[in-house]
Chain A
Amino acid sequence: MNRNTTIRTFAIASIATLLAACAGMPGAPSAAPAQPNAPAATAAAPAAADATTAPVASGEKITLRIASIWDATSMEQMQPVLDDYMKQNPNIQIAVDNTAGSGAAVYPDVLKTALASGNPPDAFFMWGGEIAGPFIDADQVLNLNDFYKQYGWDKVYGPWTLDRISRNGSKFGVPYTAHGMGFWYNKDNFAKWGVEVPKTFAEQEAMCEKLKGQNVYCVSIGGKFGWHTMRILDYFIEHQCGPDKHDQLNALTLSWADPCVVASYQSFQKWVDNGWVVPDFLTVSPDDSRFPFFKGDAALVLEGDWYESVLKNNEQDNKKYNFYLPPTDQTPLRFSTFPEQFMISKDGKHPNETAAFLNWLTSPETAKKFPTAFASSATIGANPDCNEWPLTCGLRKEVLDAKSTYPPTDQAFQKELMDGFFEVQDNIVAKKLTPEEGANLMQQRVDEWKAKNKK
Chain B
Amino acid sequence: MTHTRPRRRIRLTPYLFLLPALLWYLIFLGYPMFYSFIISLTDWDGLSRGSNWVGLSNYTSAIFQDQVTILALRNNLIWTAGTLVIPTTLGLLFAVALDQKLPARTLLRSIFYSPAVLPLVAVGLIWAWMYNPQFGFINEVLKAVGLGRFARGWLSMFETALPATFLTAIWTGVGFSMTVYLAALQGIPREQYEAARMDGATGPRLFWNITLPWLREAHVIVLSLAVINSFKVFDLIYTMTYGGPGRSTQVMGTWMYFNAFQYYHAGYGSAIAWIIAIITLVVAIPYVRRMSRD
Contacts and interface: CB of A to CB of B under 8 A. Distances in A.
B122 interface: no
A144 B39 CA distance: 32
B235 to A, nearest CB: 14
A280 interface: yes
Interface in A281-295: 281-285, 288, 291-292
Given A29-B39, A282-B156, A430 B245 contact: yes
Given A285-B128, A414-B264, A34 B157 contact: no
Interface string B254-285: 00001001111100000000000000000000
Interface in A270-310: 278-285, 288, 291-292, 297
B50 A30 contact: yes
A14 B135 CA distance: 57
Interface residues of B, number: 47
Contacts of B39: 29
A140 interface: yes
Contacts of A423: 246-247
B42 interface: yes
Interface in A1-33: 3, 6-7, 10, 14, 17-18, 21-22, 25-27, 29-33
A299 to B, nearest CB: 15
Interface stretch (B23-31, B172-180, B182-190, B214-222): B23-31
B53 A31 contact: yes
Contact of A422 (B23, B41, B244, B262): B244
Interface string A380-409: 000000000000000000000000000000
B163 interface: no
A34 B48 contact: yes
Contacts of B156: 223, 280-284
Interface string B129-147: 0001111000000000000
Contact of B49 (A17, A138, A278, A416): A138
B227 interface: no
Contacts of A31: 53
Contacts of B158: 430, 432
B265 A426 contact: no
Given A33-B52, A280-B152, A224 B47 contact: no
A223 B245 CA distance: 9
Interface in A116-136: 116, 134-135
Contacts of B26: 14, 18
Interface string B219-245: 000000000000000000000111011
Given A109-B261, A223-B156, A283 B245 contact: yes
Contacts of A109: 261-262
B38 interface: yes
Contacts of B16: 6, 10
Interface size class of A (residues with CB under 8 A): 35 or more
Nearest to A17: B23
Contacts of B258: 419
B246 A134 contact: no
A423 B261 CA distance: 19
Interface in A175-231: 223-226
Interface of A: 3, 6-7, 10, 14, 17-18, 21-22, 25-27, 29-34, 105, 108-109, 112, 115-116, 134-135, 137-140, 223-226, 278-285, 288, 291-292, 297, 414-416, 419, 422-423, 426-427, 429-430, 432
The 10 nearest A-B residue pairs measured at CB: A280-B153, A280-B133, A138-B47, A416-B263, A282-B156, A282-B245, A34-B50, A283-B155, A426-B246, A138-B48
Given A279-B153, A415-B264, 16 more contacts: A7-B12, A27-B46, A29-B42, A30-B50, A30-B51, A112-B47, A134-B47, A134-B264, A280-B133, A281-B156, A282-B157, A284-B156, A423-B247, A430-B245, A432-B158, A432-B246
10 contacts: A17-B27, A105-B262, A108-B262, A138-B264, A280-B133, A280-B156, A283-B156, A283-B242, A416-B265, A432-B158
